[in-house]
């Protein structure tokens, strides 16, 4: 079983739409969680950390449900520039495991 | 702050040759560096974890004699792909975390990646 599982998408949405991505992880002892964004042929860049209490950064909201081992990312008012692959990342004992990524295409 | 560089950004080599990739933390001390490989349309796969001054820890299935990792200083780690074969063609990305990055210790910062093509 993979450490981190994500729906690969693609999610094709119009500008202004709200879109949500989900991710599950297999190790209940995982310590920290992140969402990264990766543009085509570029390195991943940290979008936000994910906390149990939930956290928001502008149009982006991340949630963590430890009981269900589930992480989510909500993007409101999608922009064309949000088009990218979103990677769910889980830290287990100082090792970082990446999901396969969810591709988002925001269309005009 | 927290910038990581990689060199070269791309390299083409003949089968059987060795290629060295450098990963540098430019403005912080990288106590730990990670090496990843990413094949097209796949996610990053951790190859090894490298702590400064000690031997790298390799993930299962990664040949340590083929992928030589050196982390001799707090700002530099190198990955050498020895006797490269076409199936080693991939996008190799390093990341670093450590002291003085100004961020959470858990956060890692990625280099821009090295695209390796083995003919």
Are the CB atoms for B52 and B73 separated by under 8 Å?
Answer: yes
Q: Could you report the per-residue pLDDT of A66-91, keeping only the tens digit for each?
A: 999 999 999 999 999 999 999 999 98
Which token pair is A18? 């709200």
Chain B touched by A1 (CB under 8 Å)? no
- Please identify which residue in the block is written with the tokens 């939930």: A54
Interface test with B, best of A43, A46, A94, A99 (most B CBs within 10 A): A43
Helices (H) and strands (E) in chain A, counts: 0, 11
Confidence of residue B102 (pLDDT cuts 50, 70, 90): low
Q: Could you report the per-residue pLDDT of A13-33, keeping only the tens digit for each?
A: 999 999 999 999 999 999 889
In B25-84, the residues whose Cβ lies within 8 Å of chain A are: 32, 34, 36, 42-46, 49
B chain contacts of residue A32, beta-carbon cutoff 8 Å: 106
Interface test with A, best of B5, B36, B44, B114 (most A CBs within 10 A): B44
- Please identify which residue in the block is written with the tokens 């702590």: B51
- Please identify which residue in the block is written with the tokens 């002291």: B99
C-alpha–C-alpha distance, residues B9 and B17, integer Å: 18
Report pLDDT for B107: 74
Q: Which of the 8 DSSP states describes residue B96? A: E
B chain contacts of residue A100, beta-carbon cutoff 8 Å: 42-43
Q: Report the share of chain B in percent with pLDDT over 70.
A: 92
Q: Single out the residue of A108, A103, A105 nearest to residue A21, CA to CA.
A: A103
Nearest to B46 among A45, A96, A101 (CB): A96
**Is the pLDDT score of A50 beyond 60?**
yes
């Amino acid at each position: 079983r993979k450490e981190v599982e994500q729906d690969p998408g693609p999610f094709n949405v119009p500008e202004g739409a709200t879109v949500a991505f989900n991710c599950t992880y297999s190790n209940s002892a995982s310590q920290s969680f992140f969402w990264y964004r990766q543009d085509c042929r570029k390195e991943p860049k940290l979008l936000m950390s994910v906390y149990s209490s939930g956290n928001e950064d502008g149009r982006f909201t991340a949630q963590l449900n430890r009981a269900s081992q589930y992480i989510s990312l909500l993007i409101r008012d999608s922009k064309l520039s949000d088009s990218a692959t979103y990677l769910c990342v889980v830290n287990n004992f100082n090792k970082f495991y990446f999901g396969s990524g969810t591709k988002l295409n925001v269309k005009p | 702050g927290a910038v990581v560089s990689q060199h070269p950004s791309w390299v083409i080599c003949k089968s059987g040759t060795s290629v060295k990739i450098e990963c540098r933390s430019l403005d912080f001390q990288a106590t730990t560096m990670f090496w990843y490989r990413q094949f097209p349309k796949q996610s990053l796969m951790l190859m090894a974890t490298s702590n400064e001054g000690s031997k790298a820890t390799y993930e299962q299935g990664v040949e340590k004699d083929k992928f030589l990792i050196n982390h001799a200083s707090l700002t530099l780690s190198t990955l050498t792909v020895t006797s490269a074969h076409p199936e080693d063609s991939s996008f190799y990305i390093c990341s670093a975390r450590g002291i003085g990055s100004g961020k959470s210790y858990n956060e890692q910062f990625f280099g821009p990646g090295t695209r390796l093509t083995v003919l």
